[in-house]
């Protein structure tokens, strides 16, 4: 795939994978992106997952013919992008490997070799001339590993953005970018909002007309849309005004309360209401929605003197990713101990700028007139 007259996509699509990073469902597969810059110095940007290295090398050979690459730039050492380094150097032993010092340390961990004879160590602000192309390297530590560099090509005005601006899904599948990019960002990068903000500030100093991430499509049109979403996500702002209700239910009574609240919110004119069963719906999508909407309702039962396991895991996923700047409400159910709300609040105490709703719903086994009145009051408060 030609990105420009001088840049070619040489990545691969993976439709065999079921779980990315061993946990995220990817029904539409994944793309592992790699790019070839053809200039006086031919340059490869990153490698691919180990299972696709032979295909990747074949594509490079088809593009270069008898010409040999001068540089292999390694922006990120996660194995889905770096697994091909050793095999590449067996085919092209004279290629110079360009990476941060931290990346070369990781190479020794992965390959028992740091390829010292091929090393060119780069740091933030360093440049590399390929001919008409000049590459500038920008350190992006913890977006989302510590060794990450992104690369700006001033000739084509391309930002090779490593995992930033990536998404789930193979490139031969049509799907909404924002949905899978949001799930990818919040699940994988979301903990590191401050570091993403630092990268966005660096990116704002250069003229970017194309973004080439390591996952997902090349972005060339309406870049302000993607940059705006990254600004929202990385600053933990509210993307969509509305309410997300996340519940667990043992015998159906808590589910009934959650669904009734959703109905009342819609009747009261709430702009958007989403609801999920944490035991059955995709956990990553539930986490995504908690960060997307401005208000969150947690509904669960007292369980083993704590809270139901799926709710405990869900709240842990939120706090691990620096959940903040939201309104949170509670529905608790307990036949012999109403302690779930207290437990949930305790789990959230480390979060910044959370506002707890004044109204809570306390269900003793099943809904009654008192808890129904509490549901009504909560629905009015949230809207």
State pLDDT tens for residues 273-300. Answer: 999 999 999 999 999 999 999 999 999 9
Mean pLDDT, the chain, as a whole number? Answer: 96
End-to-end CA distance of the chain: 48
Query: What pLDDT is recorded for position 1?
Result: 85
Residue 1 lies in a domain: no
Position 223 in a domain = yes
2, part of any domain: no
Considering the domain architecture, whether residues 196 and 271 belong to the same structural domain is answered as no
C-alpha to C-alpha distance for 287 and 270, rounded to whole angstroms:
21
CATH number where 360 lies: 3.40.50.360
Q: Assess if residue 323 is contained within a domain.
A: yes
Does the pTM surpass 0.85? The reply is yes
Model pLDDT for residues 227-286, shown as the tens digit of each residue: 999 999 999 999 999 999 999 999 999 999 999 999 999 999 999 999 999 999 999 999
Look at residues 189, 216, 234 and tell me which one is the last residue of a structural domain. 234
Whether 82 and 189 share a structural domain: yes
d(CA 146, CA 369): 55
Res. 337: pLDDT tops 90 = no
Specify the 3-state DSSP secondary structure of 75.
coil
Q: Where are the alpha helices (DSSP H) in 65-100?
A: 79-82, 85-91
pLDDT at 306 over 90: no
Total domains in the chain come to 2
Same domain for 221 and 274: no
Question: Which domain covers residue 369, as residue numbers?
Answer: 240-382
Residue 15 is predicted with a pLDDT of 97
Q: Does 219 share its domain with 74? A: yes
pLDDT for residue 305:
84
Predicted local distance difference test score (pLDDT) of residue 11? 98
- Among the three residues 212, 234, 256, which one is the final residue of a domain in this structure? 234
For 137-146, b where at least 16 C-beta lie within 10 A, e where not — what string?
bbbbbbbbbb
Q: Are strands 7-9 and 35-37 parallel, antiparallel or unpaired?
A: antiparallel
Q: Are residues 171 and 263 in the same domain?
A: no
Co-location of 181 and 315 in the same domain: no
Q: Is residue 49 part of a domain?
A: yes
Same domain, 164 and 258: no
**Residue 153 pLDDT class (50, 70, 90 cuts):** very high
Same domain flag for 192 and 299: no
pLDDT class for 353, splitting at 50, 70, 90?
A: very high
CA distance 203 to 213: 14
Q: Do both 159 and 279 map to the same domain? A: no
Q: Is the pLDDT of residue 165 over 90?
A: yes
> Where does the pLDDT of residue 33 fall: very low under 50, low under 70, confident under 90, or very high at 90 and above?
very high
- What mean pLDDT do residues 6-12 have? 98
Question: Is residue 365 left, alpha or beta, with left meaning phi > 0 and alpha meaning psi from -120 to 50?
Answer: left
Amino acid 81: pLDDT: 96
In a domain, 154, yes or no: yes
pLDDT mean over 208-221: 97
pLDDT in tens, 42-81: 999 999 999 999 999 999 999 999 999 999 999 999 999 9
Do 195 and 64 reside in the same domain of the chain?
Answer: yes
């Amino acid at each position: 795939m030609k990105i420009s007259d001088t840049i070619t996509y040489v990545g691969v699509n993976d439709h065999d994978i079921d779980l990315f990073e061993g946990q995220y469902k990817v029904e539409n597969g994944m793309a592992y992106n790699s790019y070839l810059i053809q200039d006086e110095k031919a340059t490869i940007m990153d490698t691919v997952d180990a299972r696709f290295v032979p295909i990747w090398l074949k594509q490079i050979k088809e593009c270069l013919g008898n010409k040999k690459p001068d540089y292999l730039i390694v922006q990120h050492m996660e194995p889905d992008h770096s697994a091909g380094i050793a095999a590449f150097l067996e085919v092209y032993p004279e290629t110079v490997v360009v990476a941060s010092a931290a990346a070369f340390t990781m190479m020794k961990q992965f390959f028992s070799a740091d390829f010292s004879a091929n090393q060119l160590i780069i740091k933030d602000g360093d440049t590399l001339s390929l001919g008409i192309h000049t590459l500038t390297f920008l350190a992006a530590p913890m977006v989302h590993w510590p060794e990450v560099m992104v690369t700006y090509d001033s000739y084509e005005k391309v930002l090779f953005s490593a995992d930033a601006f990536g998404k789930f899904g193979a490139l031969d599948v049509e799907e909404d970018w924002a949905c899978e990019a949001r799930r990818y960002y919040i699940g994988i990068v979301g903990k590191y909002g401050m570091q993403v903000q630092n990268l966005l500030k660096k990116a704002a100093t250069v003229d970017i007309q194309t973004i080439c991430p390591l996952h997902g499509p090349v972005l060339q049109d309406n870049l302000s849309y993607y940059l705006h979403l990254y600004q929202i996500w990385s600053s933990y702002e509210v993307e969509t005004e509305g309410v997300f209700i996340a519940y667990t239910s043992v015998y159906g009574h808590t589910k009934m309360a959650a669904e009734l609240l959703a109905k009342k919110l819609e009747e009261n004119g709430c702009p958007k209401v989403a609801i999920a069963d944490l035991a059955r719906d995709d956990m990553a999508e539930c986490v995504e929605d908690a960060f997307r909407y401005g208000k969150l309702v947690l509904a669960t039962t007292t369980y083993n003197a704590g809270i139901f396991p799926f709710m405990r895991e869900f709240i842990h996923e939120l706090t691990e990713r620096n959940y903040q700047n939201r309104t949170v409400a509670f529905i608790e159910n307990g036949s012999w101990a109403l302690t779930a709300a207290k437990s949930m609040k305790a789990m959230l105490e480390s979060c910044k700028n959370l506002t707890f709703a004044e109204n809570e719903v306390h269900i003793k086994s099943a809904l009654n007139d008192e808890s129904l009145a509490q549901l009504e009051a909560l629905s009015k408060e949230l809207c």
